Amino acid sequence: MFITQKSLSRRTALKGLGVTMALPFLEAMVPAATALAKTAASNRVRLAAIEMVHGSAGATVVGLQKNLWSPAATGKAFDLSPSSLAPLEAFRDHLTIVSNTDVKNAEAFELPEIGGDHFRSSAVFLTQCHPKQTQGSDVLAGTSLDQLYAQRVGGETPIPSMQLCIEAIDQAGGCAYGYSCVYTDSISWSSPKDPLPMIRDPRAAFDQLFGVGATPAERAARRQRDKSILDFITGEVAKLRKELGPADQARLGEYLDDVREIERRIQKVESSNSSGDPRELPGAPVGVPDSFAEHVRLMFDLQAVAFASDITRVFSFKMGRDGSSRAYPESGVTAGFHPASHHQDREDRIREFEKINRYHIAQLPYFLDKLKNTPDGDRSLLDNTLVIYGSPMGNSNVHNHKRCPLFFAGHAGGTLKGGLHMKLTDGTPMANPLLGAMHALGMTDMATFGDSTGATDLNAASETTVAAL
């Protein structure tokens, strides 16, 4: 490449019979005599915004005393072991924990809204705006953080953004307490009036990412032939390999292996769920695993390969649905999620709820490890990604929205240092650190977001309390 002064286009894709597969970043895409740090890869910051409902055990009086969510120490010398965040210890250098934030716009503003916290909260998480109470089509919230970022960078990728979820959704009609179901079912809003649908089925997400088949009928016919999408591009792959050096050939091989493994697992789920045997989730699409962990991992794998190939740089991922009574026996708790969240402030039940919180957090290292071990220019994908994880609810037992869970992972292209726990002053809106995150993503022209009172500096080195700037 250096001698011929040629380089492979970053937009090179492999195509064949309705399949379009983007490529990961390869050294052959670097113009001759250009340092990796000066390539376009160094400027491609990805965003993964993840919501988990029902708050945390750490927002209770007992939880605060026992540090069941955020660590006791602020600054860099924090201990994660007592908290639900303990599974993230291996990634502490990539963690920015922000505790003691409130989501006031998820609270009831008027008498008829009282009791409807579960049915409006998710719409507030990434918008930080108070939803209009309606069961009609005149819904109103705000433009969500992920979509504000997608509006900036989405034009550079085949898919501007994708929205994924784990739980069942029902975006038709009203849910309860006078709220449309779209408030409960979506965390992404392209405008204050336009919630975006979330994809629950890994097969649907896979086909959308890889352009598999022009119509549902074509996609179904291809699956009936039990062929991999890689079977349709073998000739293209063979020709491309001849143009690549050994390192790029290995990188391409790993990427294609990852895609094939995801496809194989989806096929295995579909085969099992089509066998006629009883399912734990009888109403779920055939491509949805009954196992929560397997479902989450498939969705994380899809995000990782999409980020690697720059198909999209923006994902929102709703890992739970308010009011869900789904049980997670792998957590060591047999009670349903929603019933467990109403722990009556009993310490024994708060401890049980914390096990569920910890189990949910324990799913993230799989994703973070994938990103950390995927090269992206002269960095890793984790270095070039901002992961947001949080909940718009605090103590779910009383449906309040104080001391809500929030942390960030990744270095956002170098703008976040990580390895930090900051505890904000009482009453600080969650919108403040989210606005700080938007600035870290390059949206420094955003002066306000939701009910923000300023942008939190997510690199603040204070060892105690950090105030918003």
Statement: residue 467 has pLDDT above 50: no
Q: How far is CA 110 from CA 107, 115, 171, 194, in A?
A: 9, 11, 24, 23
- Listed range (252-266, 290-304, 351-365, 452-466) with the worst mean pLDDT: 452-466
Task: Give residue 465's pLDDT band: very low, low, confident or very high (50, 70, 90).
Answer: very low
Statement: residue 410 has pLDDT above 80: yes
Q: What pLDDT, on the 0 to 100 scale, is given for residue 464? A: 41
Express each pLDDT in 50-94 by its tens digit: 999 999 999 999 999 999 999 999 999 999 999 999 999 999 999
Average pLDDT over the chain, rounded to an integer: 91
- Dist CA 79 CA 72 (whole Å): 7
Q: What pLDDT, on the 0 to 100 scale, is given for residue 223? A: 57
Spacing of C-alpha 70 from chain mean position:
20
Q: What pLDDT, on the 0 to 100 scale, is given for residue 168? A: 86
Looking at residues 163-171, what average pLDDT do you find?
Answer: 87
Task: Give residue 406's pLDDT band: very low, low, confident or very high (50, 70, 90).
Answer: very high
- Dist CA 222 CA 8 (whole Å): 30
With 0-12 CB in 10 A as exposed, 13-18 as middle and 19+ as buried, what is 122?
Answer: buried
Q: What pLDDT, on the 0 to 100 scale, is given for residue 8? A: 77
Q: Where are the domains of the chain?
A: 48-200+288-466
Looking at residues 139-150, what average pLDDT do you find?
Answer: 98
Statement: residue 351 has pLDDT above 70: yes
- Dist CA 107 CA 393 (whole Å): 9
- Listed range (159-163, 167-171, 203-207, 350-354) with the worst mean pLDDT: 167-171
Cβ-Cβ contacts under 8 Å for 464 (sequence gap 6 or more): 74, 75, 423
CATH topology of domain 48-200+288-466: Alkaline Phosphatase, subunit A (3.40.720)
Looking at residues 4-14, what average pLDDT do you find?
Answer: 69
Statement: residue 193 has pLDDT above 70: yes
Spacing of C-alpha 145 from chain mean position:
12
- Listed range (133-142, 207-216, 317-326, 336-345) with the worst mean pLDDT: 207-216
Task: Give residue 461's pLDDT band: very low, low, confident or very high (50, 70, 90).
Answer: low
Statement: residue 336 has pLDDT above 80: yes
Q: Who has greater pLDDT, 87 or 14? A: 87
Main-chain dihedrals φ then ψ at residue 125, nearest 5 degrees: -50, -55
Q: What is the pTM of this model?
A: 0.93
Looking at residues 266-278, what average pLDDT do you find?
Answer: 94
* CB neighbours of residue 160 within 10 Å: 18
Q: What pLDDT, on the 0 to 100 scale, is given for residue 315? A: 98
The share of the chain scoring above pLDDT 70, in percent, equals 90
Q: What pLDDT, on the 0 to 100 scale, is given for residue 42? A: 55
3-state secondary structure labels for all residues of 335-400: CEHHHHHCCCCCHHHHHHHHHHHHHHHCCHHHHHHHHHCCEECCEECCCCEEEEEECCCCECCCCC
Task: Give residue 41's pLDDT band: very low, low, confident or very high (50, 70, 90).
Answer: low
Comparing C-alpha atoms, which of 116, 142, 138 is closest to residue 129? 142
Q: What pLDDT, on the 0 to 100 scale, is given for residue 1? A: 40
Express each pLDDT in 283-310 by its tens digit: 899 999 999 999 999 999 999 999 999 9
The share of the chain scoring above pLDDT 90, in percent, equals 80
